[in-house]
């Protein structure tokens, strides 16, 4: 208002009423425009800020979505594994049920056959069984530490026409006694084997086991003689190397 008064009074800017009115009109027209431009700039900054926030939010959402997809893939894999395991269990259960049913159906027959088989074995002469089958059966019982049955089958091969089976049967009888901690029997049985088959490849092993059996019986002096005999007769054998270790002790 002070500016207008000065202008009206005839300031250096001009004294014409028309000039004053024109200047006033310009001020009125320009003032809203300036305000609008300022507001526009401010709004533009807010929009840019919002856009940046939306972009950041979009990036975070994309990462979150990717993580969810990865987790979803893992879950799918676990579900597939579980389904596979369930199918296996179902198949196994079904097979067991079938087996159980079959056992119940044939149970009386199996019991009868088992009783018959036991009676047959108990009454049969083992010597009449094929010698190769006897030998394999003896070794099987020996490995299973069923020494009673093993001895029956080993003994059935003594005095056999087949020297191959007799030699091994006599050797393993001595080894079996040692395994069963019947050390006195082991020494005697192995000596019988050595006397009958002095050229057998198992003689060094037999002498070494005799020495071990004597040590187990606290007969160290006698064991020493067996180890020394082994070293003298079979100096290059593995058993001789072990015997030397025993003598050092």
Q: Are residues 214 and 141 in the same domain?
A: yes
> Of 66, 93, 115, which residue constitutes the final position of a domain?
66
Please check whether residue 113 lies inside any domain of the structure: no
At residue 176, the pLDDT reads: 97
Q: Are residues 47 and 155 in the same domain?
A: no
Question: Cα-Cα-Cα-Cα dihedral of 92, 93, 98, 100, to 10°?
Answer: 110
Please check whether residue 230 lies inside any domain of the structure: yes
Are the CB atoms for 153 and 126 separated by under 8 Å?
Answer: yes
Q: Are residues 56 and 133 in the same domain?
A: no
Please check whether residue 93 lies inside any domain of the structure: no
- The boundaries of the domain holding residue 8 are 2-66
Give me the CATH number covering residue 180. Answer: 1.25.40.10
> Of 36, 66, 96, which residue constitutes the final position of a domain?
66
pLDDT tens digits, 136-179: 999 999 999 999 999 999 999 998 889 999 999 999 999 999 99
- Candidates 232, 167, 172; CA nearest to 199 is 167
Please check whether residue 37 lies inside any domain of the structure: yes
Q: What's the total number of domains in the chain? A: 2
Average pLDDT over residues 107-117: 45
Please check whether residue 133 lies inside any domain of the structure: yes
Residue 183 has pLDDT above 60, yes or no: yes
At residue 121, the pLDDT reads: 47
Q: Are residues 51 and 161 in the same domain?
A: no
**DSSP letter string over 62-107?**
HHHHHHHHHHHHHHHHHHHHHHHHHHHHHHHHHHHHHHHHHHHHHH
Residue 4 has pLDDT above 50, yes or no: no
Please check whether residue 88 lies inside any domain of the structure: no
């Amino acid at each position: 208002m002070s500016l207008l008064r000065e202008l009206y009074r005839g300031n250096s800017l001009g004294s014409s009423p028309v000039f004053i009115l024109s200047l006033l009109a310009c001020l009125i027209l320009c003032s809203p425009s300036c305000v609008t431009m300022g507001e526009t700039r401010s709004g533009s900054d807010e929009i840019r800020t919002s856009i940046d926030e939306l972009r950041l939010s979009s990036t975070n959402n994309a990462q979150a979505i990717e993580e969810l997809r990865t987790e979803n893939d893992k879950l799918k894999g676990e579900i597939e594994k579980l389904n596979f395991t369930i199918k296996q269990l179902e198949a196994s259960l079904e097979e067991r049920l079938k087996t159980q049913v079959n056992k119940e159906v044939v149970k009386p027959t199996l019991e009868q056959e088992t009783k018959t088989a036991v009676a047959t074995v108990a009454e049969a002469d083992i010597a009449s069984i094929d010698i190769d089958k006897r030998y394999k059966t003896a070794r099987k019982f020996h490995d299973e530490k069923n020494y009673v049955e093993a001895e029956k089958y080993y003994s059935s091969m003594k005095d056999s026409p087949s020297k191959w089976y007799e030699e091994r049967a006599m050797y393993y009888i001595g080894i079996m006694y040692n395994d069963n901690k019947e050390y006195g029997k082991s020494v005697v049985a192995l000596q019988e084997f050595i006397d009958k088959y002095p050229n057998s490849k198992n003689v060094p092993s037999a002498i070494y086991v005799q020495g071990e059996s004597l040590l187990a019986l606290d007969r160290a002096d006698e064991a020493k003689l067996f180890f020394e005999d082994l070293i003298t007769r079979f100096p290059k054998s593995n058993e001789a190397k072990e015997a030397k270790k025993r003598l050092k002790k």
